[in-house]
Each structure stands twice: as structure tokens, then as C-alpha cells.
Amino acid sequence: MTLLDSAVWGGKFYSEGWQDSAIEQPVTEPATGDRLGTVGLASAEDVNRAAARAAEAQRAWAATSPQQRAAVLRRAGELFTEHAAEIEDWLVREAGSVRSKAGFEAGLAIGECFECAGLPTHPQGEVLTSQDARWSLARRRPAGVVSVIAPFNFPLILGLRSVAPALALGNAVLLKPDPRTAVSGGVVIARIFEEAGLPAGVLHLLPGDGEVGRAVVEAPEVRVISFTGSTPVGRAIGEQAGRLLKRAHLELGGNNALVVLPGADVAKAASAGAFGSYLHQGQICMTTGRHIVHESLVEEYTAALAAKAEALPVGDPARQDVALGPIIDRRQLERVHGIVTDSVAAGAKVAAGGEIDGAGYRATVLTGLTTDMPAWREEIFGPVAPVISFATTEEAARIVNDCEYGLSVGILGDVGTAMKLADRIDSGKVHINEQTVSDEPNAPFGGVKASGTGSRFGGATANVEAFTETQWLTVRPDIADYPF
């Protein structure tokens, strides 16, 4: 039996084993519309039962030794390695990933598990000074039950990067993947940890609609919500969490800038820009959404970027060797095209692409933009590269910062100039002589402004802060004397 044999999960969700669901949804291949299987959806009542059971199971899981929890995470990493090819196939077919992107995502999952295997034995607090004759400690304790809500675009890693550290630190998890990628973003994770020996009741897979999303936020047992997705939905979840006095870690949208400085190697810069804008059809929060190019290079850069765009084939990544796969669904495809056509109607020029191609969209370059056009202001979430010029680094900084988002910025060219520019930029991540898309399991990840609530993913420091609570503990050798 393969890891993802549909006889195990078909028509089911995972909550202390695979449970039959009263609601089923087809798993659809976006490139062809073919049916790949059927996944079971949870209800709000299922969520409430799962949350209560998770709270019970969490206490026992937190009491297990650090070595036992670390062993489960290591075994999960080994299983991701053993089943990488099968998992990549699902990422290609269900999420529309090209093969290289699927391999990258599976590799991140492996790294995430091995990185998180070190968390159970990571220092869990501080020894404090005290004015009294006592020991004073600030220790980190598991938060309890964590809800993880993950999107469709990098469905495996964007769920796992919260699930793995939360589990490693002694929490139980309710995982709600996007229903469009419920297998690669949910079933894969549940099956891996099931096979890795995670005790029953500690992880629950609960695919569903907005009602289920509200339930995993509002369940009284849940203390932390980790959400990755759009800014509007993130704002709503943040409001819910605030009303309920729960912590919400929000990794939201981006409209990321790539700055090409004077003197930069144009051929290399255009290659970086194409990768940043067109990887996974631009369906990445870190996608390069704004190309800000020095006026001395803008014509040459635009021509080079357009040539690359025209050479990138679009198609079905499961059956063809293509650079761009499908957009996740028809609604999003039409939204991408609508932003392009609205911008052209406002005066922008199409230097390459600008067309729907089957279930996908041609790699597109837009010029002649003003900063109030939709293609410049909005997060497109499609393979569109708008280009604008600048004259001075002061102007470049202003253009970069004149955006509601603040997730990732790339700067190409002279390192000294780039360092000075980086100091003036409001962004959670800055990459000098790289494009905007980058992720590693041990690196902090997060944005500012409308891109989220800061770095709450990646690396021991961020993970411990995200998924534990601080408890002050004091100890005296004898009962203290009091004046009453």
C-alpha cells in the first residue's frame, strides 16, 4: 500500500483515525478538471469534538519526554524522504505545481521536520535574578491546542511549517487545509504523522468551508491560531482572535518589489526577475509583483524580461515539460486576466503575454504603468511582472515603501548601495542580489504592514515564541515569612 492510497482517506477526515464524513468533495486536477479522488469534509460539530479530544490528548503528549517527541519528528522527516516522489506527484496534479516546484516543496517539508526535531531539547526559558532569596525562572510551556489554517499555493509546507513545530513543542493541532488542496496540504501531513507514531488525538485533519474555519478559531480549547492566506481573511481571523483573547499569527499577502540598481548585470537581473514573478504561476505570497528598475537600464531590462516570458511554455505539468502550470481555478484565472485588462485600459502596455492559455496564463510583462493602476497596487497572484523606472535610490525607497504590504524585497546590483537602500525599506525580508522568493526551515519568515504580524515561522526563536506560553516560576528553600 502506498502512503496516499485513497482506500485509507477517501471520503474521510482524520480525527483519532480516519472517520467517515457526511460531506464529500471531489479532488480535482486544475490543469484538466479530472477527478483525482474524494475527500471528506468536516463540519463545525466535528471540529468541536476534535478540539475537546485534542485538549485531552495534548496533556499526555506534552508529558512525554523530549526525546520521544523528537523521535516522532525525525521519523516524519524520514517518511517524507521515502515518499517524496509520491508526494510530489500529488503536488503536481492537485496543486498545479511544475515538477521543480513540487520537488522544492517536498524538500522543504523534509528540512522542516528535521529542524523541528531539535525543538523538544531546545532551551525552554531563562533563569532570572530576584531581589528575594529564591530561584526565579521564566519557562516556556506548550500553548495547548493550536489551529493551523493553510492555503492552496504551497499547501504542504505552509501547513507543515506550523504543524511540525507546534507538535514538537508539545501542542495538539487542528489542521484546516484549503479544500482545493486537501490531499497535498492535509492528507499527506496526517498520513506522515500517523505512520511516524504520533499518538491518537494529537493531530486532527479537518478540511472544510468558512464555517469550519470559524469553528477552528472559536473552539474554546484553541489558544493559538496560525493562519497563512489572504489579507482580508487574515484581518477577519485577527478580529475574531482578539475578541476571544487568543493569539493569532498571521502570514498574509504581499506585493513584493525587485529593485534593479544602476550598473546591474541585466541578463542576470532579468533571469532573477523572471524566476521571482513566474515560479508557480506567480501564486506565491513572496512573488515579485513590482519590478523597479533604474532608468538607465529599464528598456534593456524590460526587453530581456519579455524575451524570457515569451519563451516560457504553459501547460499541464503532469503530462508536459512546462515552466508554468495551471492557475488554481477558473475564478482566479479570470481575476488575473481582469487585473491585466483593467490596467491596459488605464494606459499600461503589454510587452509579453497578457493572455489566458487553457487553464493557465501566459507569462506577462507590463510597461507604461502608473502607481495607481491595479497591476501595480494589487496582489495579483498570477504570472504578471509590472515594470516601472526610478532615477535615484531615494525614489526607489519611496516606491518600494508606497505599498500596503511589506513581506519581501530583492535588490540587485552594487552591494554597498543595496545595503544603504535596505536600511530604508519596510519589509520582513530583504534579499540582496537575489529575487524575492526564498525560504529555509531555520530562517525567520514573516511580513509587516498588511503582510502580517511579523516573523512567527522558521527557526527556534520564532517557533518557541509562536507555540508556547511564558510561565514565571519561583522556588524558595522554605515557606516565606509574611506580615499577616
Residue 2: per-residue pLDDT:
87
The rounded distance, in Å, linking the Cα atoms of 415 and 470 is 40
Phi, psi torsion values for 12, nearest 5 degrees = -130, 160
H or E stretch including 243?
A: helix 231-243
198's grid cell: 504520533
Q: Which of 152, 121, 137, 111 is nearest to 283 (CA)?
A: 152
Q: Which of 428, 432, 430 is nearest to 417 (CA)?
A: 432
Catalytic residues: 251, 285
The rounded distance, in Å, linking the Cα atoms of 241 and 362 is 39
Q: pLDDT digit string (tens) for 405-463?
A: 999 999 999 999 999 999 999 999 999 999 999 999 999 999 999 999 987 788 899 99
CATH topology of domain 6-252+452-473: Aldehyde Dehydrogenase; Chain A, domain 1 (3.40.605)
> Which regions of the chain carry the CATH code 3.40.309.10?
256-432
Burial class (CB in 10 A: 0-12, 13-18, 19+), 230: middle
Residue 455: per-residue pLDDT:
73
CATH topology of domain 256-432: Aldehyde Dehydrogenase; Chain A, domain 2 (3.40.309)
Q: Which of 156, 151, 168, 150 is nearest to 225 (CA)?
A: 150
pTM equals 0.96
> Which regions of the chain carry the CATH code 3.40.605.10?
6-252+452-473
- Residue segments in the chain with a per-residue pLDDT below the cut of 50: none
Which bin fits 296, alpha (ψ -120 to 50), beta or left (φ > 0)?
alpha
The rounded distance, in Å, linking the Cα atoms of 445 and 190 is 24
No. of helices (H) and no. of strands (E), the chain: 16, 23
